[in-house]
Amino acid sequence: MSYMSNEKVLLTGISGFIGLHCAQQLLNAGFDVRGSVRNASKEKEVRETLSAASVDTTNLSIVELDLTSDKGWDDAATGCDYVMHVASPFAIANPKTEDEMFIPAVEGTLRALRAGQKAGVKRVVLTSSVVAMFGSMKTGTFGPKDWTDTTSVQVNTYAKSKTLAEKAAWDFIENQAGETPMEMVSVNPGGVFGPPLGRDITGQSMAMLDQMLRGKMPMLPKMSFPMVDVRDVAKLHVQAMTTADAAGKRIVASTAQPGSFIEAAQILKDQGYKGPSTRVAPSSLLRFVALFDREVKGMVGMLDMNLMADNAQTLSLFNWTPIEFKQSVLDAAAAVQDITR
């Protein structure tokens, strides 16, 4: 799809796993992109990564923005028609203090919204997560009307941060003054798999896949929740930005059926990969390890989870056919092997 509009998009977090795919799809569709990075030294890597993926970066500019600082936000949004706010701290491990994650997530989101409103942008697309919907649920189906209970002790810090940030964003949108209020759409991805656009595999899902392929994960946690391919996440971001009927909606960006690391390992073994193990880690063991390990502690709330997603609105609104989980896993594994050879 090519819009050839020369409309401008402020894309925060352009150097990340999702951000690079969003930049690729926006530039290929004819948008001007102003991408934000935390450090200007990232610009060369972003441009080289996109160029290596055959993306014309003529209409790309890079700005330096920090989620925890007001500096530069108003200038970055000036002249933009849309804001795509992808940047957010992500880690499974619970930080030493919750504010380490809460402050950049919530304040960064509000900075993006305030700058967008001041610049007169039409619509903001906010990258949220399904963890802002399913909270401490273990079984059943969640959907766009569900919200995570941030007071639950079963909810990890990351899920709380995404929920608080998204709620703060919707509160901001609902309390706008003026005749032409800014629109917003939240895109809530499930577990994100699929190939990275560049050669960075330090993100959580790629790092875990790399460990699986190397045989460094002898046991896997028992948890299943809806997954999504990173290329679909980017596609849905662009459609959420450009589809009139998407305004004001929370978009479930995932398959309806759950996927798991155990399933991913089996897919890889069936394709001849030698490293992955399909042994299941006893949940009781992981709960014990969580007493000493912050990363495992962040995972405990999702142990024994087996959730479905109600993605009917997404399928109909965007006429979307999700990339299958098997394809995501195999494409990601091929990319990781190519990078680590």
Q: What is the residue extent of each domain of the chain?
A: 8-340
**Phi, psi for residue 70 in degrees, rounded to 5:** -75, -15
CATH number for the domain whose boundaries are 8-340: 3.40.50.720
pLDDT (0 to 100) of residue 1: 47
pLDDT (0 to 100) of residue 296: 45
pLDDT (0 to 100) of residue 5: 60
pLDDT (0 to 100) of residue 2: 45
pLDDT (0 to 100) of residue 294: 52
State what percent of residues in the chain have pLDDT above 90: 69
Query: What pTM was estimated for this model as a whole?
Result: 0.93
Residues of the chain with pLDDT under 70: 1-5, 89-96, 282-304
Report which of 124, 115, 16 is spatially closest to residue 70, judged by C-alpha positions. 115
pLDDT (0 to 100) of residue 321: 96
**CA–CA separation, 208 and 296 (whole Å):** 13
pLDDT (0 to 100) of residue 289: 55
pLDDT (0 to 100) of residue 90: 57
